[in-house]
Structure 1
Amino acid sequence: MNARELDVAGITDPGLRDAYLRCRRLNARHGKTYYLATRLLPLERRAAVHALYGFARWADDIVDTVDGAATTRQRRRALDALEGELDAGPHQGAGARPVIRALLDTRARYGIAPSLFHDFLASMRSDLTVTSYARYADLRAYMHGSAAVIGLQMLPVLGTVVPPAEAEPHAAALGVAFQLTNFLRDVGEDLDRGRVYLPLDLLAAHGAGPELLRWSRRTGRDDPRITAALKDAEHLTRRCYRDAVPGLAMLDPRSRPCVRTAFVLYRGILDAIAADGYQVVHRRAVVPRRRRALVALDGFVSRARPRNRRAPDAPCRPRPGTALRVPVLR
């Protein structure tokens, strides 16, 4: 992490600086799209975003451990221990593990509600035993903790020009849109882990199901029923992006280029999935590096020239008849 970022943020304690550095490395290594967008944030806010990412990544890695020696009970205990450290609070000081120390500092600095992290860990525990969701409503309940709360955690760091409560539904919707995008992109990899995140009722509506997905993954063969279900899931995800759009203009102007860049890059994954013929059962769709660079460049120009920036929601206004048709976030 650039030392100036820490200096501007007022982070002076050597141990705390090292904790934030570790979170930044996790972000740079594992969340390349997300990390690219954070470079557009004001210097003093970047460390907090890295801390939030580092904690989420750490918990996710506990759940997805491939070490055969790590049983479900052991992983649950690891998540419980993580939550216990959160509950212990900032008084842990130098005794806390680095990622926790950085997170507790960020939580205190920005007044982020502790309940958001408890809800997140509840969904992580669900991943230890739940491998599919019968209805979209069930998946939305899971995504409240695994995705919506991420947007809500970020909101105090990003800042708003309206009362935070007005922006919260849109921030939560964007977190859900990002996760639905990841679910679509990672269908094949999730199958290898024994998970199906596409709602079973959505698959069944097209005559598909987990067995057909596994057959397609195993044989490398396509099936029109799967393609139809994936297109339906894509349309569902795009509606979530449209629901998030009004929130872009509610953010602090200095944070908008970052979020708009993340918005465009993640939504671009949907375009890449379609362009690849919905082959996500067999391989990941990837946004071309040149495209990512151009979007990032546009973000940097937007940050440098805020007064000349196009209205952030202009490219994404819902067309007539495309009102969101998904359950309201909790």
Structure 2
Amino acid sequence: MGRWERALDAAGVREAGLRADYGRQRQQVTRYRREVAVAAGLLLPERTVPHVIAAAAFMHRTDTLLDSGPLAERRTAAARWQREVTRSLAEGRTDDPELRPLLHSAAAHPVLRDRVLDHLAAAEADLDFTGFDTEEDYQRYVDGYSLPGFMVVAALLGPDGDQSAYRAACRTFIDGSQRLDFVNDLAEDLAEGRLTVPRDRLERHGVTRSDLEQARDLPTVRELLGGLLDEADRALAEARTVIGLVPAVHRPMVRCIVGVERLTGAAARDDLGALLRRSASPAKPAALRLLAREYLRFRRAARQDRR
């Protein structure tokens, strides 16, 4: 029996059709976020892996609905999806094979249900996104959209019972992660008509939207991007406190999540001018060393967990 089959058994997924549904979602996650599927398979207890896969697959389907097609169609699709998911969670049943794993995982981890509903309620913030005038606008976006989305998966890794301190630490992490993503994906977002740097920040540095769209590698542009990465670095460094708030057996995965963001930030800083044309990725040797180190830590934690 392979590890995935053992993971389904450990997660209480017994019925053949439901196992097939989870299997298809694992394939989906592997296609669009292979690193998530690999890390979950190596760094999480078998009983947790299928639930993380189900949560990640739900996020992918929701993001696809929010990002595909004209705004009016996206808004209609998002509203329909919200009604369907909410009704299915309330009734505890669905005919949609894309939702059956989510319902099973929410029954096993009731916190997931609330986080899914929070994220669906926040979806409009992304549909209505037109950019930020100020840093305060950005922080409201983090609270209103980024954090609820992150908590869909993160809630499964957190402590049992009260997660208020854990959520606060996750908020610090997602502030740094979202800021890093906005800097790292600057070229892609601008190509899609999205300016994710607050306008008052541009004015402070004497940078125009045209400077960014035309990929002008100016000292003022580098100063702007470097300053944003500094802020992301500080938040991610502070967010390491989240590691101590999760069960020991989940800490390798959480350390890996934080570590990948720090590596991505370092890669982005290596060539600020290149961010005007493309995103940066962590150096593969460093990422593999991080994964190997956390895998060894997971094996030790798993042995302790079984005692």
Same fold by TM (over 0.5)? Answer: yes
Deviations along 1:215-240, one digit per CA (max 9) or x if unpaired, are 22xxxx41222111111111111122
Residue equivalent to 2:289: 294
SS in 2 for 1:25: helix
Matches of 1:113 and 1:8, distance apart in 2: 18
Residue equivalent to 2:214: 215
> Is residue 149–residue 175 contact of structure 1 (8 Å, CA) maintained in 2?
no
Structure 1 residue 302, shift from structure 2 partner: 0.9
Structure 1 residue 173, shift from structure 2 partner: 2.3
Matches of 1:209 and 1:101, distance apart in 2: 48
Deviations along 1:293-327, one digit per CA (max 9) or x if unpaired, are 111100111112349xxxxxxxxxxxxxxxxxxxx
Matches of 2:273 and 2:20, distance apart in 1: 42
> Is residue 150–residue 172 contact of structure 1 (8 Å, CA) maintained in 2?
no
Matches of 1:157 and 1:114, distance apart in 2: 11
Out of 254, 269, 283, the residue aligned to residue 264 of structure 2 is: 269
SS in 2 for 1:2: helix
Residue equivalent to 1:205: 204
1:153 aligns with 2:155: no
Matches of 1:118 and 1:210, distance apart in 2: 36
Query: Structure 1: 5+ residue runs without aligned partners?
Result: 308-330
The letter of the residue matching 1:253 is: A
Structure 1 residue 248, shift from structure 2 partner: 0.6
SS in 2 for 1:280: helix
For residues 51 and 113 of structure 1, do their structure 2 counterparts lie closer, same or farther at Cα, with a shift above 3 Å needed? closer
What's the TM-score once normalised by structure 1's chain length?
0.83
> Is residue 189–residue 195 contact of structure 2 (8 Å, CA) maintained in 1?
yes
Structure 1 residue 206, shift from structure 2 partner: 0.9
Residue equivalent to 1:196: 195
For residues 84 and 138 of structure 1, do their structure 2 counterparts lie closer, same or farther at Cα, with a shift above 3 Å needed? same
1:138 aligns with 2:137: yes
Residue equivalent to 1:323: none
Deviations along 1:152-206, one digit per CA (max 9) or x if unpaired, are 3334422428842222201232233332222221110111111011222222221
What's the TM-score once normalised by structure 2's chain length?
0.88
> Is residue 162–residue 250 contact of structure 1 (8 Å, CA) maintained in 2?
no
Out of 41, 46, 57, the residue aligned to residue 43 of structure 1 is: 46
1:14 aligns with 2:16: yes
What is the RMSD of the two structures over their aligned residues, measured on CA atoms?
2.5
Give the alignment of 1:89-108 within 5 angstroms. 89-90=88-89, 91=91, 93-95=93-95, 97-108=96-107
Query: Structure 2: 5+ residue runs without aligned partners?
Result: 303-307
The letter of the residue matching 1:291 is: A
Structure 1 residue 86, shift from structure 2 partner: 1.7
Structure 1 residue 23, shift from structure 2 partner: 2.5
Deviations along 1:237-258, one digit per CA (max 9) or x if unpaired, are 1122133211211110000001
Matches of 1:116 and 1:156, distance apart in 2: 7
Deviation larger for 70-79 or 11-20: 11-20
Deviation larger for 281-290 or 140-149: 140-149
Matches of 1:94 and 1:116, distance apart in 2: 19
> Is residue 18–residue 100 contact of structure 2 (8 Å, CA) maintained in 1?
yes
1:117 aligns with 2:119: no
Structure 1 residue 2, shift from structure 2 partner: 1.5
Structure 1 residue 259, shift from structure 2 partner: 0.8
What is the identity percentage for the equivalent residue pairs of Structure 1 and Structure 2?
Answer: 24
Matches of 1:103 and 1:53, distance apart in 2: 10
Matches of 2:234 and 2:197, distance apart in 1: 16
For residues 160 and 113 of structure 1, do their structure 2 counterparts lie closer, same or farther at Cα, with a shift above 3 Å needed? closer
Structure 1 residue 278, shift from structure 2 partner: 4.3
Matches of 1:281 and 1:148, distance apart in 2: 26
Deviations along 1:3-55, one digit per CA (max 9) or x if unpaired, are 11111111112232222223322322222333333120111101111111111
Matches of 1:245 and 1:57, distance apart in 2: 26
Residue equivalent to 2:233: 238
Structure 1 residue 271, shift from structure 2 partner: 0.2
1:256 aligns with 2:251: yes
Structure 1 residue 92, shift from structure 2 partner: 5.9
Q: How many pairs align? A: 300
